[in-house]
Amino acid sequence: MLNVPPPAFPAPSSQQRAAAGGRSKVPLKPGRSLMDWIRLTKSGKDLTGLKGRLIEVTEDELAKHNKREDCWICIRGFVYNVTPYMEYHPGGEDELMKAAGTDGTDLFDQVHRWVNYESMLKECLVGRMAVKPIAAPKEISSTLSEGKKQLNGMLPEKKVLASAAKDLTPSYDWFQTDSLITVVIYTKQKDMNEELVIVDCQDKRLRGEIIMDDYSYLVEVDLDHAVSEEVAVNIAEKIGKVEIILKKKDNIHWKMLGQPWGCHNTFIKRTDRELFYRKCKLVSKTEVTHDTKLFCFMLPKGTHLRIPIGQHVYLKQIITGTEAVKPYTPVLPFLPLDFQETSHHDGVHIYLMIKIYSCGLFTQALDHLQIGDYVSVSNPEGNFKKSQVQASEDLILLAGGTGFTPMVKLLNFALTEVSCLRTAKLIFFNKTEDDILWRNELEQLALKDERFEVQFILSQPTKDWVGKQGKISSSLLSEFVKRSRKDSKVLICICGPTPFTEQGVQYLKNLGYSQEEIHAFTA
């Protein structure tokens, strides 16, 4: 698996590494951190063995480079010599070797498709595949933007590969008044909602993405004329019509919408879509605990983005010249104590509760951001579905450290919008009292709402701690994880360091909870 970053810096103990949340990380030798890799890539050393020459690689040629000391891997049509990277790979050499001499795109996508391998491995680029080994996507796909087509307000002719899917393929049109341009997307799907529509309009470029289960429809156009920064989105939920309304800068008649761009008018699997980022401004940074801060980022004016419950975004920063990307789960600005006042989803701000690790590459860079600085924020991802909680009567949340973050919106949603909810219990594991995030808010919430209960469990308490003590275990879970009635519908969500989550799931299964009753938040 091409598990490039997140790497360690400096190399941590294996226990720390296991806790670091990445998948099957291995201990790296000293001097093999991400920073060391960045230094090597900037040293001018010939990392491909080709003295800077780029070549066309045939499948036969690729297959020959399948040994540790001579290992080439193809990702999305580009071939990299990963031999120099072997010792720096956080997932270990064996994971990289799984793709040796082959097309590793699928393996890479399964683990960390968000990792910017182009930036990480740019000095290892051997060249392009002569014959692209990636099979064309089998799924419904309509690509209309071959060649530069003008978008003149007519629905373009469709090229639909799967005829059975024809009726499900969204389409778009546009029209104008003196002052407005309206792009209409016919999703042909009922129950469209705000979270399924992501729009970005900046510098005359419009990008409108519609999420439809595992698929995504995209309109991507270089607009013919300038528009003002603000964008409005109207959604006719029942008929699945989405309108993106742009304000003309000059009240002139547009002859066409613009030129298609990138993946315009495609309907493909979400996982095949490149992650889109927009620059967001840091507007505030407040302390939550001694090492954790609440960062508030502001979306650009031309962005319409609502992050669904249980989903995360990726932040991207350039750290010493290399792009680094890490996932974070948006929270609310505070836990609402008054449920009447739930207007924090203003659609403009994104709140992230982030623990700053003293030797963390990404979080140290985040901590050094000044108010007014920009960070790139991606579209949301994640496999949690709101429907999982909508039917639950007992909600049990098991959180370890910042694994608390997905629980915030989930808890708020359950307490405010799930009418059948009878009980909600948070079992919150931390090392010490000082590490407990939003302790006050949680305790107040428990006082305010009798359905909600919070239990703090500390693994490294001081002797003054009178509460529960220990690590996640079968006995602790059997004490706290209970149905309110014998046959009640329960949902148990768990999130924390990877081993914490994995052990927790196993204990829950041993206690008789089914796979459907458990949701584990992982990468």
User: Which residues sit at the interface with ligand FAD, rule CB under 6 A?
Assistant: 6, 8-9, 12, 16, 19-21, 312, 326-329, 352-355, 357, 359-363, 402, 405, 497, 523
Question: Which one among 32, 89, 264, 312 touches ligand NAP, defined by CB under 6 A?
Answer: 312
Say which entry of ligand NAP, ligand FAD, none residue 360 contacts (CB below 5 to 8 A, set by partner kind).
ligand FAD
Q: Give the chain's length.
A: 523
Tell me which of 102, 169, 402, 412 binds ligand NAP, using CB under 6 A.
Answer: 402
For residues 416 and 339, the answer to whether their CB atoms sit within 8 Å is: yes
Query: Which of the listed partners (ligand FAD, ligand NAP, none) does 12 bind, with a CB threshold of 5 to 8 Å by partner kind?
Result: ligand FAD
Least separation, in Å, of the C-beta of 373 and ligand FAD?
17
Smallest distance from ligand FAD to CB 355, Å: 4
Sign of CA dihedral 505, 507, 510, 511: negative
**Total residues at interface with ligand NAP (CB under 6 A):** 30
Per CB under 6 A, does 430 bind ligand NAP?
Answer: yes
Binds 81: which of ligand FAD, ligand NAP, none (CB < 5-8 Å by kind): none
For the stretch 151-160, contacts whose Cβ atoms lie closer than 8 Å and that sit 24 or more positions apart, written own/partner, are 151/221, 151/256, 151/257, 151/258, 151/259, 151/260, 152/255, 152/256, 152/257, 153/256, 153/257, 156/265
Residue with tokens 């001579």: 70
Contact status: 42 vs ligand NAP (CB under 6 A): no
Stretch that binds ligand NAP, among 151-159, 218-226, 334-342, 400-408 (CB under 6 A): 400-408
18 is a contact residue toward ligand NAP (CB under 6 A): yes
Cis bond leading into 308, ω under 30°? Answer: no
Token pair belonging to 136: 């064309």
Using CA atoms of 360, 365, 370, 376 in order, give the dihedral in degrees to the nearest 10: -120
**In the bound complex, which residue of the shown chain has the CB atom lying closest to ligand FAD?**
360
Q: Would you give the end-to-end CA distance of the chain in angstroms?
A: 14
Query: If contact means CB under 5 to 8 A according to the sort of partner, which of ligand FAD, ligand NAP, none does residue 8 touch?
Result: ligand FAD
496 binds ligand NAP (CB under 6 A): yes
Among residues 376, 381, 382, 195, which one has the least CA distance to residue 277? 376
- Over the range 410-432, which residues count as b (16 or more CB within 10 Å of their CB) and which as e? bbbbbbeebeebebbbbbbbbee
Question: Is 472 among the residues that bind ligand NAP (CB under 6 A)?
Answer: yes
Residues 208, 181 contacting (CB under 8 angstroms): no
What is the torsion angle, in degrees rounded to the nearest 10, for the CA atoms of residue 77, residue 83, residue 86 and residue 92?
60
Residue with tokens 């985040």: 366
CA-CA distance, 329 to 441, in Å (whole number)? 19
- For residues 354 to 383, the per-residue mask of contacts with ligand NAP, x marking binding by CB under 6 A and - elsewhere, is -x----------------------------
Please classify residue 204 by burial: count the beta carbons closer than 10 Å to its beta carbon, then call 0-12 exposed, 13-18 middle and 19+ buried.
middle
- Site track for ligand NAP across 217-256, x = CB under 6 A: ----------------------------------------
CB of 367 vs ligand FAD, minimal distance in Å: 9
> Which has the closest alpha carbon to 297: 311, 281, 309?
281
- Tell me the closest approach of the beta carbon of residue 352 to ligand FAD, in angstroms: 6
Confirm or reject binding of residue 471 to ligand NAP (CB under 6 A). yes
Kindly state the smallest distance separating residue 501's Cβ from ligand FAD, in Å: 10
Assess 119 for contact with ligand NAP (CB under 6 A). no
Residues near ligand NAP, by CB under 6 A: 18-21, 312, 329, 355, 400-403, 405-406, 429-431, 435, 459-460, 471-472, 495-497, 499-500, 503, 521-523
